[in-house]
Amino acid sequence: MEQEAKNVLVVVQNQCDRAAIYHLMIAKTRVKPTARLVEVFSAIQGEGLNVGTRQIFIRFGLCDLRCHFCDSPHTWNAPSMCKIERSPGLRDFEIHSNPVPLPILIEWVERQNLPSLHDSISLTGGEPLLHAPFLAQFLPIVRSLTHLPIYLETGGHRPEELGLILPYLDSVGMDLKLPSVSGETYWTEHKKFLQICFDANLEIFVKIIVSQKTEPAELERSAMLVAAVSQDIPIFLQPVTPLADPEKFSQVPVTAPTPDQVLGWQALMKQFVKSVRVIPQTHKMLNQM
Ligand code: SF4
Q: Which helix (H) or strand (E) holds 40?
A: strand 37-44
Residue whose Cα lies nearest atom 2 of ligand 1: it is 126
Alpha carbons 167 and 14: distance in angstroms, whole number? 11
Distance 28 CA to ligand 1 centre (A): 34
Per domain, the residue ranges of the chain are 35-286
- Stated pTM of the model: 0.86
Of how many residues is the chain composed? 289
Query: Is residue 248 predicted with pLDDT exceeding 70?
Result: no
Q: Is 235 annotated as a binding residue?
A: no
Query: Is residue 11 predicted with pLDDT exceeding 70?
Result: no
Residue whose Cα lies nearest atom 3 of ligand 1: it is 126
Query: Is residue 27 predicted with pLDDT exceeding 80?
Result: no
Distance 155 CA to ligand 1 centre (A): 7
Alpha carbons 264 and 107: distance in angstroms, whole number? 48
Residue type (1 letter), 64: D
Q: Write down the pLDDT at residue 252.
A: 60
Q: How far is CA 56 from CA 51, 88, 155, 175, 235, in A?
A: 14, 8, 20, 20, 24
For 92-124, write each residue's pLDDT tens digit. 999 999 999 999 999 999 999 999 999 999 999
Distance 72 CA to ligand 1 centre (A): 7
Q: 168, 232, 192: which is closest to 20 by C-alpha?
A: 168
Question: Could you give the angle at which helices 259-269 and 216-229 cross, rounded to 10 degrees?
Answer: 30
Decide: helix, strand or coil at residue 253.
coil
Q: Pick from 38, 47, 72 the residue to mutate for probing ligand 1's pocket: most ligand atoms within 8 Å of its CB.
A: 72
Residue whose Cα lies nearest atom 8 of ligand 1: it is 70
* Structure-derived torsion over alpha carbons of residues 72, 227, 132, 56, reported in degrees to the nearest 10: 60
Distance 126 CA to ligand 1 centre (A): 6
Q: Is 69 annotated as a binding residue?
A: yes
Note whether 210 and 258 are within 8 A (CB): no
At residue 78 the predicted structure's pLDDT band, cuts being 50, 70 and 90, is confident
238 lines ligand 1 (CB under 6 A): no
Q: Is 255 annotated as a binding residue?
A: no
CATH number (1.10.3720.10, 3.40.50.1110, 3.20.20.70, 3.30.530.20) of 35-286 reads 3.20.20.70
45 lines ligand 1 (CB under 6 A): no
Q: Write down the pLDDT at residue 9.
A: 40
Atom of ligand 1 nearest to the CA of 63: 4
155 lines ligand 1 (CB under 6 A): yes
Atom of ligand 1 nearest to the CA of 175: 1
Which residues are within 8 A (CB) of 93 and not within 5 positions of it... i.e. 6 or more apart?
39, 41, 83, 84, 85, 86
Q: 227, 211, 129: which is closest to 178 by C-alpha?
A: 211
For 37-73, write each residue's pLDDT tens digit. 999 999 999 999 999 999 999 999 999 999 888 888 9
Q: Pick from 39, 60, 62, 63 the residue to mutate for probing ligand 1's pocket: most ligand atoms within 8 Å of its CB.
A: 63
